[in-house]
């Protein structure tokens, strides 16, 4: 059975799309139209009760959470080179630390920075939420900027799916107005990561999805 990815364009599901493209085996996609409220409909909640993409249906069941999906795919496709697989506890922890740095520290800040209106019931709070998120981002991005000015990829000399995750983070925050001037290494990392064939293929899935959304009158271009 080929896996099926439930996804929406511009979202963090892009990271899983990139991972599946990197593996290179057939997979299906199912577009979740946020503007149509499909992420809150019973059909999708039966797949992911949290109402979030990505959700990957596999022969082993449904896997949710980017970090878990990426670990699962790296484990089940060891030759795809998604993540290194050190055998020692410290090595494993080091890879997990980078994964959690992006998924637990950076990713929630992206939501606050890009879509501050989703964080409070009072829309007038949005500028303060965004300012605070920008502070948090500056704190989190500084060490990554230093790291990537010394090495091409997060884990050293070799690309990993963590680079695709960071590239998505950059895509969202830079598109939503975070100034790139202080982050030349991050901007360069994004440009290089975007050249990878799997990254281009993931964007093609998104483009097709956007066309479908337009045809259904459900197109939405969020602040990236």
Binding residues (CB under 6 A) for ligand GSH: these are 11-12, 39, 51-54, 65-67, 103
- CA–CA dist 176, 209 (Å, integer): 21
Q: Cα dihedral angle (116, 119, 121, 124), rounded to 10 degrees? A: -30
Residue 105 in contact with residue 140, Cβ under 8 Å?
yes
Min CB(106)–ligand GSH separation in Å: 11
CB of 202 to ligand GSH, least distance (A): 14
Q: Which helix (H) or strand (E) holds 42?
A: helix 42-45
For residue 110, the 8-state DSSP code is H
What is the closest distance, in whole angstroms, from the C-beta atom of residue 157 to ligand GSH in the complex? 26
Judged by beta carbon, residue 11 or residue 18, the one nearer ligand GSH is 11
Which residue, 89 or 123, is less far from ligand GSH as judged by CB?
A: 123
- The CB-of-194 to ligand GSH minimum distance in angstroms stands at 18
Whichever of 71 and 103 has its CB closer to ligand GSH, that residue is: 103
63 versus 186: smaller Cβ distance to ligand GSH: 63
Nearest to 123 by CA among 134, 132, 115: 115
Query: Least CB distance from residue 67 to ligand GSH, whole Å?
Result: 6
Residue 161, sorted as left (phi over 0), alpha (psi -120 to 50) or beta, turns out to be alpha
**Kind and range of the H or E run holding 55:** strand 55-58
Whose Cβ is closer to ligand GSH: residue 35's or residue 204's?
Answer: 35
């Amino acid at each position: 059975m080929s896996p099926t990815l439930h996804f929406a364009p511009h979202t963090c599901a892009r990271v899983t799309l990139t991972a599946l493209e990197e593996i290179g085996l057939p997979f299906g996609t199912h577009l979740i139209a946020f503007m149509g409220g499909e992420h809150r409909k019973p059909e999708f909640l039966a797949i992911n009760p949290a109402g979030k993409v990505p959700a990957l249906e596999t022969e082993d069941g449904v896997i949710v959470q980017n970090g878990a999906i990426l670990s699962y795919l790296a484990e089940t496709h060891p030759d795809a080179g998604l993540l290194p697989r050190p055998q020692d506890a410290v090595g494993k922890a080091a890879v997990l630390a980078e994964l959690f740095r992006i998924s637990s520290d950076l990713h929630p800040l992206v939501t606050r920075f890009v879509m501050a209106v989703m964080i409070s019931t009072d829309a007038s709070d949005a500028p303060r939420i965004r300012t605070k998120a920008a502070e948090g981002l500056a704190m989190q991005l500084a060490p990554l900027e230093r790291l990537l000015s010394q090495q091409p990829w997060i884990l050293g000399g070799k690309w990993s799916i963590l680079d695709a995750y960071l590239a998505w983070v950059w895509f969202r925050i830079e598109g939503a107005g975070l100034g790139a001037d202080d982050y030349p290494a991050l901007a360069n990392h994004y440009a290089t990561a975007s050249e990878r064939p799997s990254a281009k293929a993931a964007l093609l899935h998104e483009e097709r999805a956007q066309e479908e959304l337009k045809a259904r009158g459900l197109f939405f271009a969020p602040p990236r």
